[in-house]
Chain A
Amino acid sequence: MAVQRRKRYAEVLESKCVACGSCAGVCPRTAISVPKGVTAKVDKDLCVGCGLCEKICPACVIEMITEASQQEEN
């Protein structure tokens, strides 16, 4: 049986990110980091889509994306 699942995650508008790291500081899953000091990067697999980073981001460059995906289940 195919089950509809939704995945919610954060996405960074990289060209406008100021790399301050506020998002990384509040992420409960350490799913977001600023590895090279240019922009924040999100690990989609770790992100649970809680939206804390979006709320804290002073540059308003984080958006929450909801993606529908099909998953097979018995």
Chain B
Amino acid sequence: MKKRHKKWYEYLWIASALYLVLGFVNILFAWLGMLCFLIPLLISITKGNKAYCNRYCGRGQLFHLLGGKFKLSRNKPLPKFIRSKWFRYGFLIFFLTMFANMVFYTYLVFSEVSGLKQVVTLLWTFKMPWTWAYHGTIAAPWVAQFAFGFYSLMLTSTLLGLVTMLLFKPRSWCVYCPMGTMTQMICKIKE
């Protein structure tokens, strides 16, 4: 059988994995994660489709690779409550609230009401010291604060995705991914 040539975007999982590594090296790289927020929104608003989820999502590809090719997934169906609309929209609201909270704290640092906290918060609860990834020379404290907050969000969602990948189907994260839910909402409105 003739081997199919892979397209460039089928390697975007490397970028997703690299992003997680770069957060350990210099926290300012966390800003790059904004691309994963802005590109899907832009595509859904301008094109009215979910091409980002369908083709370009490196995280989805990473879960597919780990769960599928590397057989790390149990391949069991997700529990019904996670698949429900209540959970999906509820998680989206929760995620956006936590995002707004993070932006507000960045504002507090910007207005010098609060100081920069060099911590990465996992699962919105566990604060982990992350002092080695900030060198404090190039960027203003609020820029670094946003990076710490944003990286916390990205690491937390990757962790959740990895756990559901292991326990259920590889791309279980896609079912409750806030960006996926949001872009689908936009597409529904545009349809």
Whether a CB of chain A sits under 8 angstroms from the CB of B117 is no
Contact yes or no, B48 A36, CB < 8 A? yes
Contact yes or no, B88 A18, CB < 8 A? yes
List chain B residues, Cβ under 8 A from A57: 169
Q: How far is the CA of A34 from the CA of B44 in the complex (A)?
A: 13
A37 with B50: in contact, given A16-B83, A18-B88 (CB under 8 Å)?
Answer: yes
Chain A's closest residue to B47 (CB) is: A37
Q: Mostly helix, strand, loop or mixed at chain A's interface?
A: loop
List chain B residues, Cβ under 8 A from A18: 88, 174-175, 180-181, 184
Q: How far is the CA of A59 from the CA of B180 in the complex (A)?
A: 13
Whether a CB of chain A sits under 8 angstroms from the CB of B136 is no
Contact yes or no, B55 A59, CB < 8 A? no
- Bits for A13-25, please: 1 = Cβ < 8 Å to B, else 0: 0001011111011
Count how many pairs of residues, one from A and one from B, have CB atoms less than 8 Å apart in the complex. 79
Contact yes or no, A58 B171, CB < 8 A? yes
Chain B's closest residue to A24 (CB) is: B54
The size bracket of the interface on A is 10 to 19
Q: How far is the CA of A25 from the CA of B53 in the complex (A)?
A: 11
List chain A residues, Cβ under 8 A from B177: 20
Whether a CB of chain B sits under 8 angstroms from the CB of A50 is no
A38 with B184: in contact, given A18-B175, A59-B78, A60-B78 (CB under 8 Å)?
Answer: yes
- Bits for A40-58, please: 1 = Cβ < 8 Å to B, else 0: 0000000000000001111
List chain B residues, Cβ under 8 A from A34: 49-50, 53-54
- Bits for B158-188, please: 1 = Cβ < 8 Å to A, else 0: 0000000000111111110100110110111
A35 with B180: in contact, given A22-B64, A58-B172 (CB under 8 Å)?
Answer: no
List chain A residues, Cβ under 8 A from B170: 22, 56, 58
Q: How far is the CB of B68 from chain A (nearest CB, A)?
A: 8
Contact yes or no, A21 B168, CB < 8 A? no
Contact yes or no, A22 B191, CB < 8 A? no
Q: How far is the CA of A59 from the CA of B171 in the complex (A)?
A: 9
A22 with B184: in contact, given A34-B49, A38-B191 (CB under 8 Å)?
Answer: no
Contact yes or no, A20 B48, CB < 8 A? no
A59 with B49: in contact, given A18-B180, A36-B191, A37-B187 (CB under 8 Å)?
Answer: no
Q: Considering the complex of A and B, which 4 residue pairs feature the smallest CB-CB distances, nearest first?
A: A21-B54, A37-B187, A37-B50, A20-B174
